[in-house]
Structure 1
Amino acid sequence: MLDILITIIVIAALVLAWIMLYDSNRFVVRTHTVTDRRIKKPCRAVLLTDLHNKQYGKKNERLLAAIRAAQPDFILAAGDLLTANTKDSFEPALHLMRSLAGDYPVYYAYGNHEQRLAAARDVYGDMAERYEAGLGSAGIEPVVNGHCNLPEQGIVLYGVEIDMEYFKKLRPEAMDPGYLPGLLGQAPKDAYTVLLAHNPDYFPQYAAWGAALTLSGHVHGGVARVPFWGKGFIAPTWRIFPKYDGGVFREGDAVMVLSRGLGSHTIPVRLFNPGELWVIEFRPLTEP
């Protein structure tokens, strides 16, 4: 009986290890469509988050092929395309950005890893400056507490960089109602407002500020997802079964698409949780 039990445990461990290896090296493409009267023209975006220098094939050829197959009008990056680590090269992230910027407009808002490079220069030296210079050479100017107008589409894209205190472990820091307007000004009423906000914990605050669509990442889908139940197990903040783990969430009329991301770092595995590449379709309320 004991031999049978040990055999079952060993087989189960091998199966889980194979699934972990498989899920850690693949991604799936998901699509979400938003429809609004303020959107003037149909368009399509691809959302990238939490790549963490991961490469799918040589020079990310598999990822680039999937992005091009989606035929986006522009690229939206919601942060953590690199990992803040002095021992890692950020060249995979830069190569991807250079490759995409040659074909599409790229709108890039930073995550906590990009922020960390600048916030802790005593640790990371000139990595922030070198990364920004690399983006600049590709023609990409990060959207940091600012916005870009897409008047033909009727869309305004905002990128928010919240203070590092809002990325604390275990317990989220309370956010004052005046904090986001202080960073971003007031959301326009006559355009469809898209907010690139890496940390999804503050989706209610993003919605209250005026974001019609929030695009987030950070949680990596909870690293491992519980089969059948589908909940993510743990967030980077070490909270178990986080409320916002991946997928589409709503606050009134506001929507958040939370990507499970494409890579990993501290816990460098995925289980029942492949990477995600999101395609966002923008549609007028009544298409011509």
Structure 2
Amino acid sequence: MQHYEIELRGLQSKVRLVLLSDLHCKSFGKDNARLLAKVEAQSPDAICLAGDMIDRNADAEEVQKFLDFVKALRKIAPVFFSPGNHELGYMASDELLLDRIEKSGAAVFNDSYADVILAGQPLRIGGTMGHGFAFGRTEEEFAASPEYKFLKEFENTDLPKVCLAHMPDTFIFNGAYSMWNIDLVLSGHTHGGLIRMPFVGGLYAPMQGWFPKYDSGSFRLGDNMQMIITAGMAGHGIIPRVNNLPEIAVIDLVPGEENAQ
């Protein structure tokens, strides 16, 4: 269990989120009973699933177990889901996956958002699996992309803004964090660097390479954006986690100093 307290501008009251990522079809107890109990014990106002909850090659039984898990989470609190690269890979053979997740009770954000009220506090919640910069495209191509259009609409509000982005790469490269007025980004993907070494941290993360700076934890990016990267729940393929326990991130959003009563 990893606890964070994050100050957000425009927030008037405390909101508690639980963040899960990178489950990769793993089960903690029968029907994930142990994981569900730990989530429920935190009394969250919402549960955020930041992608790679299944594998790209998951079978029908594994997918159904995840859908049942979503249904069980929804009995605890509202569930917000944004896909990771493994869900997108799986969708090459099952285009209806996101619809099925939504029918199981989650609000699904794939270059989309919603204005919600949690614990009496209005918030804007959204999600993307794209990049917040051109990333190998021309600026014109980027400006025509779904993620660009989403981000332009998403940032256009005075509400506190929380964006699920499975890959921290969405904002950490090319100064993308300075391009967007987003208060908090919730990410996974790194598996905490998989193998964690004392005084060093994670060994390797996708896109960042060896000894990644952004492996897990809380980060301030530029003047406006904060990011939480959860170390997630599972390993990476056949590579195990070492000195790197599965993580449930518990995030208390609290008013910034200018909003404190």
Shorter-chain TM-score bucket reads 0.7 to 0.9
Residue in 2 aligned with 1:102?
A: 75
Does the aligned pair in 2 maintain the 1:51–1:93 contact within 8 Å? no
Residue in 2 aligned with 1:25?
A: none
- What SS does the corresponding residue of 2:209 show, helix, strand or coil? coil
Distance 1:282 1:81 in 2: 24
Q: Structure 1 counterpart of 2:159, which letter?
A: A
Distance 2:127 2:254 in 1: 21
Distance 1:73 1:86 in 2: 30
Residue in 2 aligned with 1:44?
A: 16
Counterpart selection for 2:233 from 236, 253, 262? 262
1:241 counterpart = 2:211: yes
Q: Which moved more, 1:77-86 or 1:184-193?
A: 184-193
Does the aligned pair in 2 maintain the 1:80–1:111 contact within 8 Å? yes
Residue in 2 aligned with 1:6?
A: none
Distance 1:228 1:79 in 2: 29
Question: Which of 1 and 2 has greater Rg?
Answer: 1
Residue in 2 aligned with 1:134?
A: 100
Q: Which runs of 5+ in 2 are unaligned?
A: none
Does the aligned pair in 1 maintain the 2:129–2:170 contact within 8 Å? no
Does the aligned pair in 2 maintain the 1:47–1:278 contact within 8 Å? yes
Q: Which moved more, 1:107-116 or 1:243-252?
A: 243-252
Distance 2:83 2:159 in 1: 23
Query: CA offset at residue 33 of structure 1?
Result: 1.2
Does the aligned pair in 2 maintain the 1:44–1:73 contact within 8 Å? yes
Q: Which runs of 5+ in 1 are unaligned?
A: 1-28, 167-171
Structure 2 CA distance for partners of 1:43 and 1:197, relative to 1, 3 Å: same
Query: CA offset at residue 133 of structure 1?
Result: 4.6
Query: CA offset at residue 173 of structure 1?
Result: 5.0
Residue in 1 aligned with 2:170?
A: 202
Q: Structure 2 counterpart of 1:199, which letter?
A: M
Does the aligned pair in 2 maintain the 1:157–1:195 contact within 8 Å? yes
Distance 2:36 2:248 in 1: 11
Q: Report the TM-score, using the length of structure 2 for normalisation.
A: 0.84
Distance 1:93 1:55 in 2: 9
Query: CA offset at residue 46 of structure 1?
Result: 0.4
- What SS does the corresponding residue of 2:36 show, helix, strand or coil? helix
Query: CA offset at residue 175 of structure 1?
Result: 8.8
Q: Report the TM-score, using the length of structure 1 for normalisation.
A: 0.77
Q: Quick check: which one's strand share is greater? A: 2
Query: CA offset at residue 275 of structure 1?
Result: 1.2
Query: CA offset at residue 73 of structure 1?
Result: 0.7
Query: CA offset at residue 132 of structure 1?
Result: 3.2
Q: Quick check: which one's helix share is greater? A: 1
Residue in 1 aligned with 2:121?
A: 153
Residue in 2 aligned with 1:58?
A: 30
Structure 2 CA distance for partners of 1:35 and 1:141, relative to 1, 3 Å: closer
Structure 2 CA distance for partners of 1:238 and 1:33, relative to 1, 3 Å: closer
Q: Which moved more, 1:261-270 or 1:211-220?
A: 261-270
Query: CA offset at residue 267 of structure 1?
Result: 3.4
Distance 2:149 2:102 in 1: 27
- What SS does the corresponding residue of 1:196 show, helix, strand or coil? strand
Counterpart selection for 1:279 from 240, 250, 253? 250
> How many residue pairs end up in the alignment?
245
Query: CA offset at residue 268 of structure 1?
Result: 3.9
Instruction: Kindly report the root-mean-square deviation, in angstroms, between the aligned alpha carbons of the 2 structures.
Output: 2.4
- What SS does the corresponding residue of 1:66 show, helix, strand or coil? helix
Counterpart selection for 2:195 from 201, 224, 236? 224
- What SS does the corresponding residue of 1:154 show, helix, strand or coil? strand
Structure 2 CA distance for partners of 1:199 and 1:140, relative to 1, 3 Å: same
Structure 2 CA distance for partners of 1:228 and 1:261, relative to 1, 3 Å: same
Distance 2:199 2:44 in 1: 32
Between the two proteins, what is the percent identity of the paired residues? 33
